[in-house]
Amino acid sequence: MPQQDRLERVTDLLLVLLDTTRPLSLREIADRVPGYPEGHDARRQAFERDKALLRGEGVPVLTVPVEGEDQQGYRIDPGAYYLPDLGLDPDEQAALNVAVAGVHLGEPIGRRALTKLGVDSESPGREAVVPLVELPSSDLLPALSSLFDAVRQRASVTFSYRGAERRLHPAALRFRNGHWYLVGYDDERQGARTFRVDRIESAPRLGPSGSAVLPEGFDPDEAFRLTPWRFGVGEEVDVDVLVDGAEAGRVVAELGTEAVHEHRDRGAVVVRLTVTDTDALVTWVLDLLDHAEVLWPAPVRQMVLDRLQPLAAS
């Protein structure tokens, strides 16, 4: 049977089961819903598939014992299917519209929910709401659900990132500038690390529940705050920053020994940072005053010089 015929049949089945005041036998359903096969066995199989499809979509199809040859009847309780009238006043409806429009999920789920609540988000005269942020759909972030499970279960997680396998004790997921970030403690690198979820290159593999062990006093918000150059939307670029001996100890303590690319004389170090927000990186370098210098790449070094020129001229 063509797919379109089945969709029409399932739609008709839904309407018939909602409209009846008593359970209908399969024989009665076949009389009212066009498209079911003539033979009993084939008709039963087709109906069971349709019933499973409706239930899979959340439609409460009830199976009720009935008298007679068929012994079973079917109906949908409208009270369980339809949402009750929530009695929202115009201001409450407007607030719901703002909430749904303000965070765009990349899918029409929110709009469909408003329709079920009787809120017409596109009615004439209603002011359009500009989305504040867009969340990628679940199809774009297959790792996100697993990572939420890892945080909830306190399970260690392993994944590939920038071509290397990483094992993390996850502490939290954070959202900033339209992207999700995983924050946790990296055993091998001996420090806090932040990973942008949509750049994880493999499906996360979770360890046993409770296998994530965080250092005492570990603060994911503090770890998240310490790397502002990671939260941009640009492509990742490696930047080498020379930090002199006066600030090297503090910087390495914050970034972890993994960030150290080279040791220099008098305690100085060159740290290599993966950057997606060069403006934030430049600000961080300038906050270190004359204790830090961008060595490479040239465009980022020039950004620092351009920021310093007005100060030098004043």
Q: Rounded to whole angstroms, how far apart are CA atoms 158 and 236?
A: 21
Q: What angle do CA 306, 310, 311 make, to 5 degrees?
A: 110
Residue 12 φ/ψ, nearest 5 degrees: -65, -40
pLDDT, residue 265, reads 93
CATH of 227-314, picked from 3.30.70.240, 3.40.50.720, 1.10.287.70, 1.10.3470.10, is 3.30.70.240
For 1-14, the pLDDT digits (tens) are 444 467 888 888 99
Asked whether the predicted pLDDT for residue 49 surpasses 60, the reply is yes
Residue 264 φ/ψ, nearest 5 degrees: -120, 175
pLDDT, residue 131, reads 47
**CATH code for the structural domain at 137-218:** 2.30.30
Element (H, E) at 173: strand 164-176
Buried b (16+ CB within 10 A) or exposed e, 137-171: eeeebebbebbeebbebbbbbebebeeeebebbbb
Asked whether the predicted pLDDT for residue 192 surpasses 90, the reply is no
Joined together, the tokens standing for residue 156 give: 């260690």
**Overall average pLDDT of the 238-259 stretch:** 89
Q: Which CATH architecture has domain 3-81?
A: Orthogonal Bundle (1.10)
Q: Rounded to whole angstroms, how far apart are CA atoms 243 and 112?
A: 54
Percent of the chain clearing pLDDT 70 (strictly above):
77
Fold agreement (3-81, 227-314): no
CA distances from 309 to 292, 300, 302, 304, 312 (A): 16, 15, 10, 9, 5
More confident residue, 93 or 74: 74
pTM: 0.46
pLDDT, residue 143, reads 77
For 225-241, the pLDDT digits (tens) are 767 787 766 788 999 99
**Overall average pLDDT of the 211-237 stretch:** 81
Q: Rounded to whole angstroms, how far apart are CA atoms 220 and 180?
A: 14
pLDDT, residue 73, reads 92
For 137-182, the pLDDT digits (tens) are 444 456 787 888 899 899 999 999 878 899 999 999 887 766 788 9
Domain assignments of the chain as residue spans, ordered by start: 3-81, 90-134, 137-218, 227-314
